[in-house]
Each structure stands twice: as C-alpha cells, then as structure tokens.
Amino acid sequence: MIRHTQRRSPVWGWVLLILATMLVYILNKPVGSLPAIGKLLDPVNGCWASAEPVNKDFSADLKFPVTQNAKVWFDKRMVPHIHAENDHDLYFLEGYIHAYFRLWQMDMETRAAGGRVSEVIGEKALAYDRKQRRKGMVFGAENSLKAMEDDPRTKAMMDAYTEGINKYIASLNYREYPLEYKLIGFVPEPWTNMKTALLLKYMADDLTGSTDDMALTYLRDYLPKEEFDLLYPKRIDGATPVMPSGTVFDKPTLAIPAAPPDSIAFPHFKPADFGEKREDGKGSNNWAISGSRTASGAAILCNDPHLGLNLPSLWYEVQLQAPGMNVYGASLPGAPGVIIGFNDSLTWGMTNNYRDVKDFYLIKPVESDKNKYWFAGKQLDFSKRIERIGVKGQPDVIDTIDYTIHGPVTYETQNAKDGNLRKPLAMCWMGHKGTNELLAVYMLNRAKDYNQFVDAIMNFQCPAQNMAYADRAGNIAIWGQGQFVNEWKDQGRFVMNGTDSATLWKELIPMRENPHVLNPAQGYVSSANQVTTDSTYPYNYTNSGWVNLRAWRINQLLNGMQKATIEDMFKMQNDTYSDLAAGSLPVMLKVIYKPNFVGGDKYIETLKKWDYRLGAESEAATIFQVWWELLYRDTWKDRMGNVPGQVWPLQERTMQLLQLNVTAIGNVMTPEQKINAILCTKVSQSFAETVDSINKLEKTIGTDWYKVKNTTVQHLAKLPAFSFDHLKIGGWGNTINAAKGDHGPSWRMVVQMGKEIEAYGVYPGGQSGNPGSKYYADFLHQWVDGKYNKLDFLPNTDKQNDTAIKYVWTVHG
C-alpha cells in the first residue's frame, strides 16, 4: 500500500500529462509533407469519414434556394440527370453536384491554373506558380471573366453555378471535407466566377500551350535552308487535311498582308541561349459519318479527346434538362454546361486544331532605363503587373511582370531558370484576350440545327478546336474553329522582332471565314490533329504540332466503310494498327546490315510475323517501338547536335525519308538522299542497341507492350496509392487508340443520331472524386478493355420511369 501511494506521486503525473499532451500535439500537427496523423486517422472525423458505404442511399429531399421545384435522377453509374424549370435552378444544381462529387479537384485545378499551388503545398510549387503567373494566366482569365460577365446569358449561368458550389461548401464541416484536404492539410474556400474563368484558361493553356517557336528560330539558322524545309515541311507529303481536298473556300474578305523583309521580321539565336524541354501528345480524334454510309441510315459522330489521364477524371458525365434544352455529355467540373456531347437535335465533338495562336517577340529593353523598351523607334514604358504568390509557412512572394504592347515578358535575362531561353521574350497569346467560350457552350447545348450550331461556335475563340457535327437530319460537318489573326506568310512561326510594328498581330479573321465543310461528297468528316486545309485556303497560318499518322489510319478505315455500325466505331476508337510500323518496318528489315544480327535473330523473326498492331501483350510491338525510338533518336541527335527543345522532325517525316531507300550511292546526293543514307546506317546501329534493351526487359519486367509503355492514370496529387499503373491497354500516340504513358483518350463517345438517339461513352475514371468511394474509378477497366457504357438519355419531363434510375433528389425551393 505504501509503495502504491509513493508511486502515485503527482510529479510523475505531471510528467505523463506533459508526455500525453506532447503526443497529442505531434499527432495533431503536419510534419513535412506528412499530414497530422492523429487527426487523419481519427475514425470519426478523419480519413475514415471518406469510407463511403458501398450501399449508400444517395436519395434525398433537399431544400435549396431554387425558384421552382427540381429533380435530379442518379442512374446506376451515378450519372446525374438534372431536371429544372429554369436556367438558374439548372446551373445551381450542376454547380452543387460538381462540388458534391469533385470539389477538391475543382479547387486544385483552378489553383494550378492561376499559380496558387504554393499556398497549400509550400515552396516546392513556387517555380510552377511563378511560371503560371508569368505567362499571364490570371491576366487572361480576368479578361475572359469580363467578357463572360458582360453577356447576360453567361453571367447568369456562372452566377447560379457559383451559388450552387458555395451552397455545398457552406454545408461542410471538417468531417465531410474530401479526403485530399485532410491529407494535404488545407480547407475549401468559396468559389468565384473567376475560378471558372481560370479553369477555362487552364484548358486553353493545356491545348495551345506548347511552342516550338524558339527551337525553330534556332534551327532555321543552324540548318541549310533546303534541309530545313525538307525536315520541317509546313504540309507533309501525303497529308490528308481536316477539310477534304477539293473543299472550296469562300473568297477572303480581308487582304492578305505582305510579309516584311526577313531581316526586320525575325531575330537570330545561338545554341547557348537555350534549354527548353518540349512536350507533346495532346492529340485527339473525331469523325462523323453521314447517314448515307451507315447501316442504320442515321449519322454517327465519334470523339475521343486525348488529354492528361488523371483521377479524379477531368470529365464528369451529366444530363441537363430545362425548358427548351435537353443535353447529355461530358462536363468539366468547375465550369457550367456540357462541353462535348449531344442534345435531342444534334451532337458535336472536338479535337485540338493546333493552328498557332501563341507568338513570341524578342524585346529590346532600354539599357539606361529598366522600365522602358524599344518599339517603333520610341521608348515605351513597360506596364507593371504585380503578382503576389502565397507560400505556405512563408511570407508571400512578390513577382513584378513587365507587360509590353505584345503581352507579358515571360522569359527574361535575369530569370534564366524560369525560361531557359536567356533573352527577354514577350508572349502574345489568343488566351490573353477576353473571349467567351462559355457562351458557345451555352448555345451549343441549346442548338436545334446546323445554323444554330454555327452561331454557337462563333463564340469559341480559344483554344481553337476542330468541331465535328452530326444531326438527326443526317447532316455532318466540321469546322476548324477558333479566333485567328490575318497573318503574313510565316508570321509567328519563329520568334519575331519585337521592336518593329510590322510584326504586330494584324486584324482578326472573321470567324465565319474559318475553314469548314458541310456534307462533303466523301460522306464523312474527320480530324486527328493534322493540318486543317490544303494550300487553297486563302489565309496564312502556321502549325504548332500537326501530326498525320492517326489521320491517315482514320481516313483509310472510313474510306472503306459503306455500312458503318456503332460496333465498327467502337472497334475504330480502339484500333491499335500503327501506320508508322507498317510504313517503316519493312524498310528497316530490308536495309539492316546482317552481321549485327548476333543475338537478335529471334526478334527479327518475331517482327517479320507481326501485323503492325500495338496490342497490349504484343512483344513485336515492344521490339518495334524500342527500335524505332532508338533509330529516331540516334539519327537526329547526331544530325542536329544540341538542338534546343529536341524539336526534331516529325516521326512520319522521318518515316518518309527512310522510305526513299536510295540504292545508287556514289553520285552527288541530294539532301534527301543524304538523310536517307544516314537513316539506313542508323537502322543497324539502333538494332544492336534494341537487342540489348529487349534482353534487359526479358530479365526484368517482361516484353509485353503494356508493361513497357506503362499507361498510368494518376491521382492529381501524384499519390501512387490512389493511381492505377501498368494498365493492360494497347496503342500509342501514333495509333487511333492513343493510350500513351500519361495521356490518352480521355472521353470516348459514339453517338448515332437516329430517330432514337443511341449513345455510348466511357472515360478512364468514375463519377466520384472520392478515393473511398466505389464510384472512384469504376469505368477504368471498361475503358482499358475498350468497352462502353450505354448513355441513358432521358426525355425532358419531370417524371421518369427509366429502370436505370437508382436514386432521386427531390429539390424544393
């Protein structure tokens, strides 16, 4: 008893109390990038609150600030079918539902757009945030916000949408926050119309962001002119433009400007000025087949925009019903309306157009005055824009950005690490202009016929898109849509001289003069990021990344199709036949130098038996892809030395040069023949390297194509635990099923516009953004397997008896 009393000395009690308090303190505080463990593990309020019951009954009776009663029917895939009696209620509910299922994603994407990531994850995102600010993302979004709020239709649409999101956010307490907020340690903030504007700029930047202007500026000096034109043709031989050859274009209403002398137009760079890395791969396919060439007699439209593969998915399926509108399709959480889809009259799809709408100007600062630059013989003041970047756990970072007559100076001498090109360049980008794509969405969703479709897309200015169209009357059409500038030849293809007014952007081309075709004789329209027109289109334009391999394959298949069915379309979207392999491999096998076969005979045999399909389990696909990559790299690396940004000739151009197959050696060779000879030599060298690589693969992960290319659908916070990798899917960027490493078909859609609309779709994700929900990635495996969901297009009435409906929200005002 005595010992007991002694042990109960309060001193030990206080020590233990301090220990316990410290334990709680540590568990309640984030350490480094680790979240507060106690707070996170807490089964009531922490991560466990995101464990959504698999049988959760989503049905509810809700009281909202809507003006009339409304209904939301959720089908068994959790696609909401929203029925409202007016626009306000409709977009309020769409906002509420986007937030309900995807809030964290919307928050993160708009932070990423506007350079506000450091606020929540700290200094490691600062360089990224600065880059976003310096390219004028916030500036562009502000301009577009003004345009959107100036139009009463889009203003009302955005206001209601924002109100709906905020209604949801206001209903949350810590327990109900999406899991990622608890993991990263921040809280949702109120939504604004500006955030929607930022999200739309994010898409514009994603689709018009990459540039090869700087590298090409260097290359045109580095390579002899003849060789430059040979390697970087503006239209590749055999290109099948989006507008079928023979399409007659209207006479231009604007005079085509004459190009200024080269010495005035373009500056010159040295290799030492560079270091930028190039990105590629945002390609997409769409096509529409006229009723005259389908089995059912109804027009069919197909679309699969290739974008970053992420979870939560970029897209969210939704049906929207209001008086005069019944539309279904893929929406972007963060923006109201349906972006790609169909309504009860027509359907539309988009692919990236890639006409250059982003130019760079070399700025000449005034040496004696840092606040001025030279333009047209005068000294002009930079207008200064101050960007304040919040950084978690640190004071704000202030970045002052110089704006010129062309746009913001993104690349500066004193900020080499931000820009890599050590010259002050100003960016002139269509995305900086105040454009209102949301109005196009608003009108598209309500369009009844071709004319209304055209009226709608006249508001779609940036990012430029190839808009395919089909309707229930059997019409098909395609527009190379966007706002473009009346350019002189080669304007903007290279970095331009920023001191001369001759290089300024001229007037805008009236959008109705954009290339388009309605019901062409060939019976179909298609686009896959190739050049828009043949050379008969009157206006000048330049390229920022046109590719041809998918377009060749699509046109080849569509040409041969007389009685197309929906099944045929599924097969086509999942086609993995490689035109690159079919065009290159026979030549490679022919010119390879025999003695290099050591150890590689069996691979040659495998390749000889191959059908040129990049199937998921194909070993031949792996051997070819590795061999081709090495051949391509070995050739251009040697030929071009340290070319900035690795802007090497297109793969298909390389293939064409390989196909020349010069036999007569010894005579004077043309530049083409010289390159062909180099390629042929490199075939053997690269094959020896290929044998090494394949041997290594055999000993490690295996040679199945899907294992080697590793298509991954990654969580937006890059958490492998919430991501899916090594998906068993075939294809690559050069096949219609363009499933690359982290890019691919983000929304496969097939719509047959018959008397009954028959529609199918699938995206690599699920309707819920919650990693603890069974709806998080439930479409992913269908997508991998090339399977589709039938889309339940409900009639526009306030009562439904569709068996697919699982849950109902009854909404009262």
Partner 1 sequence: MRFFLSVILIALLSAAAEYFFPWWAVAVVAFVVSAFIRQKPGKSFLAGFSGIGMFWLTACLVHDSANGHILSARMAALFHLPNYVLFIVVTVFVGGLVGGLSAWAGALIRPKTD
20 versus 701: smaller Cβ distance to partner 1: 20
687 versus 724: smaller Cβ distance to partner 1: 724
The dihedral region occupied by 324, where left means phi > 0, alpha psi between -120 and 50, and beta the remainder, is: left
Give me Rg for the CA atoms of the chain. 28
Residues 119 and 391: beta-carbon distance below 8 Å: yes
Applying CB under 8 A, the span of 12-20, 400-408, 501-509, 681-689 interacting with partner 1 comes to 12-20
Residues 270 and 729: beta-carbon distance below 8 Å: no
Using rule CB under 8 A, residue 13 touches partner 1? yes
Of 267, 487, 506, 721, the one binding partner 1 by CB under 8 A: 721
Q: Give the per-residue contact string, 127-166, with partner 1 (x = CB under 8 A; - = no).
A: ----------------------------------------
Q: How far is the CB of 15 from partner 1 (least distance, A)?
A: 8
Sign of CA dihedral 83, 161, 743, 305: positive
The dihedral region occupied by 599, where left means phi > 0, alpha psi between -120 and 50, and beta the remainder, is: left
Of 1, 2, 44, 386, the one binding partner 1 by CB under 8 A: 44
36 versus 409: smaller Cβ distance to partner 1: 36
Q: How far is the CB of 175 from partner 1 (least distance, A)?
A: 9
Residues 401 and 388: beta-carbon distance below 8 Å: no
Using rule CB under 8 A, residue 589 touches partner 1? no
- Listed residue (94, 130, 111) closest to 188, CA to CA: 111
- The half-sphere exposure of 681 on its side-chain side, counting CA atoms within 13 A, is 12
SS3 291: helix
Class of residue 114 by CB neighbours under 10 A (exposed 0-12, middle 13-18, buried 19+): buried
Using rule CB under 8 A, residue 122 touches partner 1? no
Using rule CB under 8 A, residue 20 touches partner 1? yes
- The half-sphere exposure of 699 on its side-chain side, counting CA atoms within 13 A, is 5
Using rule CB under 8 A, residue 255 touches partner 1? no
Q: How far is the CB of 24 from partner 1 (least distance, A)?
A: 5
Q: How far is the CB of 38 from partner 1 (least distance, A)?
A: 6
Residues 631 and 689: beta-carbon distance below 8 Å: no
Q: How far is the CB of 33 from partner 1 (least distance, A)?
A: 12
Using rule CB under 8 A, residue 565 touches partner 1? no
Residues 705 and 618: beta-carbon distance below 8 Å: yes
Using rule CB under 8 A, residue 660 touches partner 1? no
- With tokens 């988009």, the residue in question is 350
110 versus 773: smaller Cβ distance to partner 1: 773
Q: Give the per-residue contact string, 516-545, with partner 1 (x = CB under 8 A; - = no).
A: ------------------------------
**DSSP character string of 524-559:** EEEESS--SS-TTSSSB--BSS---HHHHHHHHHHH
Using rule CB under 8 A, residue 245 touches partner 1? no
- With tokens 């479709």, the residue in question is 453
Q: How far is the CB of 105 from partner 1 (least distance, A)?
A: 16
Using rule CB under 8 A, residue 388 touches partner 1? no
Using rule CB under 8 A, residue 59 touches partner 1? no
Q: How many angstroms separate the CA atoms of 355 and 540, rounded? A: 10
Of 719, 804, 805, 808, the one binding partner 1 by CB under 8 A: 719
Q: Give the per-residue contact string, 174-193, with partner 1 (x = CB under 8 A; - = no).
A: x----x---x----------
405-408: long-range contacts (C-beta < 8 A, 24 or more apart)? 405/375, 405/380, 405/504, 406/359, 406/361, 406/363, 406/498, 406/504, 407/136, 407/361, 407/432, 408/134, 408/135, 408/136, 408/139, 408/432
Q: Give the per-residue contact string, 763-792, with partner 1 (x = CB under 8 A; - = no).
A: --------xxxx-x----------------
Using rule CB under 8 A, residue 170 touches partner 1? no
Applying CB under 8 A, the span of 50-58, 144-152, 547-555, 558-566 interacting with partner 1 comes to 50-58
Using rule CB under 8 A, residue 4 touches partner 1? yes
77 versus 633: smaller Cβ distance to partner 1: 77
Which regions of 64-125 does DSSP assign to beta strands (E)? 70-75, 80-83
Residues in the chain: 813
Using rule CB under 8 A, residue 14 touches partner 1? yes
Q: How many angstroms separate the CA atoms of 802 and 279, rounded? A: 45
Using rule CB under 8 A, residue 48 touches partner 1? yes
Using rule CB under 8 A, residue 755 touches partner 1? no
171 versus 379: smaller Cβ distance to partner 1: 171
180 versus 213: smaller Cβ distance to partner 1: 180
51 versus 376: smaller Cβ distance to partner 1: 51
Residue 191 sits at φ, ψ, to 5 deg, of -80, 155
Q: How far is the CB of 535 from partner 1 (least distance, A)?
A: 54
Distance in angstroms between the alpha carbons of the first and the last residue of the chain:
70
Report which DSSP code applies to 293.
G
Q: Which residues bind partner 1 (CB under 8 A)?
A: 4, 7-10, 12-14, 16-17, 19-21, 23-24, 27-28, 37-39, 41-55, 174, 179, 183, 719-722, 771-774, 776
